[in-house]
Amino acid sequence: MNKEIIFISGASRGIGLSMANYFADAGHIVIGTSRNNFKFENNSANLIPIKLDITCRDSVKNCIDSLKEKNLIPSILINNAGITSDQLFLRMKDEDWDAVVSTNLTGTFNLSKALIKNMLKNKFGRIINISSVSGLMGNPGQVNYSSAKAGLSGFTKSLAKEVGSRGITVNSVAPGFIETDMTSFLDCDAKNEIVKDIPLKRMGSTTDVTLLVAFLISQEASYITGQTISVDGGLYMY
């Protein structure tokens, strides 16, 4: 595909970092964000780290205005930033709900709203929303997280129908259990219990997710939109 400017939220670690490095190595300019100050270990000139709180609309606006001044408006948006605050529903605090929904769902709205006008103008764009298998099948202790990720599916379908005629595709990727910081707290016994329910008998890697996203933003996937595609080793089939 042509060399593009790609915006990835939550790019300082895990799946986001894997995607950032992959696309930068492929020659794309990658703008990666995190709510904390960070630097990419990869010294590629194609990687641009930015501190950004995607839940703050003023911060998002200021970020996009700055990118416009530098002629760095992305044609591809990957909404990857996400947090968890797990707790059984009866013990879940209001702030646990608010923080997770604000980052995982409202943050996606904020970035998409800020960047889609330029895509509409150019009649080309790709939006990829990183969801989760938890949003498809539910998960005990994750009512907040599962609700936010399930919301991304409706967001993806509705937006895809609105902007498809302008050459913009909108898709969602739903990873299962991937070896990242978010699963690093699991001990060996817990991981073995999870793997028992996965037909492929292993947890996924960040590369497994990255390669699917790479396909979805490519020209080869230009007729795919409004879909939620799982990368979970067969954990949830529907």
Find the radius of gyration of the CA atoms of the chain: 17
For 7, the enclosing helix (H) or strand (E) is: strand 5-8
Is-catalytic flag, 145? yes
Judge contact between 35 and 28, C-beta under 8 A.
no
Q: Report the candidate in 194, 192, 233 with the shortest Cα–Cα distance to residue 212.
A: 233
The active-site residue out of 145, 223, 236, 238 is: 145
Dist. CA 118–CA 74, nearest whole Å: 8
Beta bridge partners of 171: 128
Sign of CA dihedral 210, 150, 176, 184: positive
Q: Is 156 helix (H, G, I), strand (E, B) or coil?
A: helix
Residues labelled as active-site residues? 145
